[in-house]
Amino acid sequence: MLEITDLKSRIGDSEILRGLSLSVKAGEVHAIMGPNGSGKSTLAQVIAGHEDYEVTGGTVTYEGHDLLELEPEERAREGIFLGFQYPVEIPGVNNAYLLKAAVNAKRKHQGLGEVDAFEFLKLAREKMAVLGMDPKFLNRGVNEGFSGGEKKRNEILQMAMLEPSLAILDETDSGLDIDALKAVAAGVNALRSPERAIILVTHYQRLLDYVQPDYVHVLSQGRIVRSGDKSLALELEERGYEWVREAANA
Amino acid sequence: MGTRGRERMKQSSLSIDTLREVVRTLPKNGLTPSREAAVAHLDEHGLPTLRDEDWKYTDLSPVVDISNRWLTAGGQQQLPKPPSETIAAITSSIDAAWLVISNGTIDEQSVGALKQKGVEVSRFSDAPSEFVMSRPLADLNAALLQDGLRVRVTESIEKPIGILIVDRAGDSVAVAQSCVEIEVGSGVSADFIEYHASEGDADHYANTVLSIAVGDRADVRHVRIQNRSVRHVQTGRTSITAGREARLRMASYDLGGGLIRNDVDIDISEPGADITFDGLYLAGDGQHIDNHTRVDHRVGPATSSQEYRGILKGNCRCVWNGKAIVHKGADGTDASQANHNLLLSDKAEIDTKPELEIYADEVKCSHGTTVGQLDETALFYLRARGLDKRHATQILTHAFAADIVLRAPVAGVKDAITAIVEARLAELIEADAAADLLS
Ligand SMILES: Nc1ncnc2c1ncn2[C@@H]1O[C@H](COP(=O)(O)OP(=O)(O)O)[C@@H](O)[C@H]1O
Ligand SMILES: [Mg+2]
């Protein structure tokens, strides 16, 4: 589904991704871990198409096509979803309006008609119930005045409504209390299916107790320095990131 | 004649002799003395020029040019009326009891039809007020005014009173003056809607003078909507006096117009006033919109709070100048001013300036202005959700305007304003997309 080969990217003058390769197949859940500043968010933003990150080398193919050719909105409509580490507050733009516009943009791309307003609301309310979100959040400005946990739930709500083929969740677990963490995990697990792939970017292995990954990768200084199964996460937790950094430099 | 006078001579100036002749042709009535006084005032002071501090960004040459051409052609007063459908389209979109002034002529029928308990409407020609002339362009208004309307509200009213100033420029150049004096009695609650519209291809200049005296403990809401043709010129002066513990909520929307200059003066001479006045201006290619506001806090405690927002796109210029003067002894004043601008292209120009003059001791004053582009982070967030760049731009621009639209203090006008704002923003952003394709 997603093939990243020797990806290099920089922002301004600093090179952040320095030859990163990763292969993700449908049905898989990958966890990407790594210390702060190692380039996890950069990778997520490059996949989503943020223009500030210049790709200076390597390739990214998504379902057999060159992903880097596409505009951010085209990537989204093709089924890529990025859950932002820092969801953006957009006062004055109604949350329900954005959700509906996003769903309709994708449906239009697929040659489907606009979603029925009644069905849409019903579905949104169902998904919100699973996430423990008050339906009132539909009528608030997008993330406007939301707490950290509410913002993250809102990202998961968007993901649940959009049913992406490839979801990348950038530290969606950080700063959540245990209830919010469980709600987010439930949202992610509900999405899991043989046709979809999920990349969980996380700093801690805590989320991985609730969402079992198939693979765990450790990112350090813009490269994947170690890959393994779930046990790698536990090992990291025990030995700390110093251990990988040493391994990387060795 | 001092240097100032000689400098003025260099710019094209209003032809006073022709003006005098035209004024002489106006029907003799109670307004005759004030017209003569106004002509004398104009003769002495002229119209403001770029050399005047308050007018340095707004060149009134089009006003002079249109006025001179119209005066030379005889200063015709009975100009073509806008079609009744134009008027009906506006009056039916907003629930109000409408008084209509078209091309400077008061629509008698609308005056006769306005029968609300507690509302008296009369004409200046019946009982003229004394000519007090210190403000630029108000003298031109008084010189050429056919007749003015005086609206007194002595009991609280439910239905808003609408004042529709609608002009049509037919085949030839035209000038129209309108003047309305509103008086709201003690403890009275009332809503007003002031609506400006124009159509037609010929050059047109409209000049409006409006005053609102808000009585003690009165509660007034006033919405001004300016949706004139982008070919036309308008200047307007709004003067407010606030009584003891008066409450005023005012919002002004400049959604059309070619050259627009608004002056708002608010005078607080009684304690306890609570005033907010907000504004929104949308400008595209060729437009020039200038908002000058001034609040005089003469006594305290009192609150005045102002926020204007502008969206500029293409080759246009806007001006915001908000002056608050806290006079000596006006302790307990709380004055805030804000002006935020969204520049959607690099050809757009904004001059924004808050001016605070404080001569009292215990005051709370704040001001803030911003000029910026759309938030790139928000734009990317929306695109990452599948919305194309244009849609994302449109949403964020709307959101910027929406705050002020939602503040319209008269609930029944929000839909009408939203519809105009939406259509206008779509035009502006459409033009943007077209420019993108060309570049
Ligand atoms: N917009 C930016 N401008 C400049 N430097 C940036 C920007 N975004 C990220 N960086 C730098 O890139 C490096 C990687 O950051 P990031 O991808 O956010 O790491 P992570 O998500 O793993 O914590 C850091 O050194 C960070 O300071
Ligand atoms: Mg990060």
Residue from A30, A29, A4, A1 nearest A17 by CA: A4
Atom 3 of ligand 1, residue of closest alpha carbon? A11
Distance A39 CA to ligand 2 centre (A): 7
Tell me the mean pLDDT in the region A92-102.
94
Atom 2 of ligand 1, residue of closest alpha carbon? A11
Q: Looking at the complex, report in whole angstroms how far the Cα of residue A91 sits from the nearest Cα belonging to chain B.
A: 7
- The pLDDT, as a whole number, for residue B432 is 59
- The pLDDT, as a whole number, for residue B6 is 44
Q: Give percent of chain B above pLDDT 90.
A: 86
**Confidence check: pLDDT of A180 > 50:** yes
Q: Looking at the complex, report in whole angstroms how far the Cα of residue A228 sits from the nearest Cα belonging to chain B.
A: 30
Distance B338 CA to ligand 2 centre (A): 35
Q: Give me the half-sphere count of Cα atoms (radius 13 Å) on the Cβ side of residue A103.
A: 23
Q: Give percent of chain A above pLDDT 90.
A: 78
Is residue A73 within 8 Å of residue B389, measured between CB atoms?
A: yes
CA distances from B285 to B254, B268, B418 (A): 15, 38, 21
- The pLDDT, as a whole number, for residue B301 is 97
Residue B3: pLDDT band (50, 70, 90) is very low
Angle at alpha carbon of residue B99, lines to B98 and B101, rounded to 5°: 130
Say which residues have a Cβ less than 8 Å from residue A52's Cβ, sequence separation at least 6: A11, A45
Contact A102 B389 (CB under 8 A): no
CA distances from A240 to A17, A209, A216 (A): 22, 18, 15
Contact B399 A73 (CB under 8 A): no
Residue from A225, A210, A208 nearest A40 by CA: A225
Q: Looking at the complex, report in whole angstroms how far the Cα of residue B127 sits from the nearest Cα belonging to chain A.
A: 48
> What tokens were used for A72?
């951010």
Q: Provide, as residue numbers in chain B, all residues whose Cβ is less than 8 Å from the Cβ of A83.
A: none
Q: Looking at the complex, report in whole angstroms how far the Cα of residue A93 sits from the nearest Cα belonging to chain B.
A: 6
The fold of the A2-249 domain, in CATH, is: Rossmann fold (3.40.50)
Q: Provide, as residue numbers in chain B, all residues whose Cβ is less than 8 Å from the Cβ of A72.
A: 380, 383-384
The ligand whose atoms approach the alpha carbon of A34 most closely is 1
Q: Which atom of ligand 1 is nearest to the CA of A45?
A: 17
Q: Looking at the complex, report in whole angstroms how far the Cα of residue B387 sits from the nearest Cα belonging to chain A.
A: 6
**Confidence check: pLDDT of B439 > 60:** no
Residue from B139, B136, B133, B138 nearest B49 by CA: B136
Contact B385 A158 (CB under 8 A): yes
Q: Where is mean pLDDT largest: A10-19, A130-139, A236-245, B153-162?
A: B153-162
- The pLDDT, as a whole number, for residue A249 is 65
| Minimum Cα–Cα distance from B401: chain A residue | A92
Residues B91-132 have pLDDT tens digits of 999 999 999 999 999 999 999 999 899 999 999 998 877 766
Ion ligand 2, residue ranges at CB < 5 A? A 40-41, 85
- The pLDDT, as a whole number, for residue B76 is 83
Which of B377, B388, B399 is opposite residue A92, by nearest beta carbon? B399
Pocket of ligand 1 (CB under 6 A): A 11-12, 16, 34, 36-42, 52
Q: Provide, as residue numbers in chain A, all residues whose Cβ is less than 8 Å from the Cβ of B418.
A: none
Angle, helices B389-406 vs B376-383, to 10°: value is 120
Helices assigned H by DSSP within chain A? 40-48, 72-77, 95-109, 117-131, 148-162, 178-191, 230-249
Distance B263 CA to ligand 1 centre (A): 49
Q: Provide, as residue numbers in chain B, all residues whose Cβ is less than 8 Å from the Cβ of A48.
A: 384
Tokens 């400008």 sit on residue: B283
Residue A146: pLDDT band (50, 70, 90) is very high
Best of A78, A82, A88 to substitute, by most chain B Cβ atoms within 10 angstroms, is A88
Say which residues have a Cβ less than 8 Å from residue B365's Cβ, sequence separation at least 6: B324, B326, B333, B334, B335, B336, B356, B358
- The pLDDT, as a whole number, for residue A87 is 96
- The pLDDT, as a whole number, for residue A66 is 97
Atom 16 of ligand 1, residue of closest alpha carbon? A39
Residues A191-240 have pLDDT tens digits of 999 999 999 999 888 899 999 999 999 999 999 999 999 989 888 888 88
Say which residues have a Cβ less than 8 Å from residue B393's Cβ, sequence separation at least 6: B344, B374, B379, B429, B432
3-state secondary structure of A29: strand
The ligand whose atoms approach the alpha carbon of A221 most closely is 1
Report the mean per-residue pLDDT for chain A: 93
Residue B171: pLDDT band (50, 70, 90) is confident
**Confidence check: pLDDT of A166 > 90:** yes
Atom 10 of ligand 1, residue of closest alpha carbon? A11
Atom 11 of ligand 1, residue of closest alpha carbon? A37
Residue A246: pLDDT band (50, 70, 90) is confident
| Minimum Cα–Cα distance from A77: chain B residue | B386
The ipTM estimated for the assembled molecules is: 0.96
3-state secondary structure of A140: coil
Contact B389 A71 (CB under 8 A): yes
Distance A169 CA to ligand 2 centre (A): 10
- The pLDDT, as a whole number, for residue B133 is 66
| Count of CB pairs separated by less than 8 Å, A with B | 72
Residues B51-99 have pLDDT tens digits of 999 999 999 999 999 999 999 999 987 777 888 999 999 999 999 999 9
Best of B385, B387, B398 to substitute, by most chain A Cβ atoms within 10 angstroms, is B385
Helices assigned H by DSSP within B359-388? 376-383
Which of A48, A97, A141 is opposite residue B384, by nearest beta carbon? A48
> How far is the C-alpha of B103 from the C-alpha of B366, rounded, in Å?
41
Q: Which atom of ligand 1 is nearest to the CA of A201?
A: 21
- The pLDDT, as a whole number, for residue B430 is 77
Contact B391 A101 (CB under 8 A): yes
| Minimum Cα–Cα distance from A48: chain B residue | B384
- The pLDDT, as a whole number, for residue B131 is 65
Distance A40 CA to ligand 2 centre (A): 5
Q: Provide, as residue numbers in chain A, all residues whose Cβ is less than 8 Å from the Cβ of B380.
A: 50-51, 72
CA distances from B145 to A13, A217, B142, B175, B205 (A): 66, 80, 5, 11, 13
Residues B370-400 have pLDDT tens digits of 999 999 999 999 999 999 998 999 899 999 9
Q: Provide, as residue numbers in chain B, all residues whose Cβ is less than 8 Å from the Cβ of A102.
A: 385-387
Residue from B158, B291, B309 nearest B221 by CA: B158
Contact B386 A162 (CB under 8 A): yes
Residue A92: pLDDT band (50, 70, 90) is confident
Q: Provide, as residue numbers in chain A, all residues whose Cβ is less than 8 Å from the Cβ of B385.
A: 76, 98, 101-102, 105, 158, 162
- The pLDDT, as a whole number, for residue A244 is 74
- The pLDDT, as a whole number, for residue B329 is 95
Q: Looking at the complex, report in whole angstroms how far the Cα of residue A247 sits from the nearest Cα belonging to chain B.
A: 36
Q: Provide, as residue numbers in chain A, all residues whose Cβ is less than 8 Å from the Cβ of B280.
A: none
> How far is the C-alpha of A218 from the C-alpha of A204, rounded, in Å?
12
Distance A230 CA to ligand 1 centre (A): 26
> How far is the C-alpha of A220 from the C-alpha of A241, rounded, in Å?
9
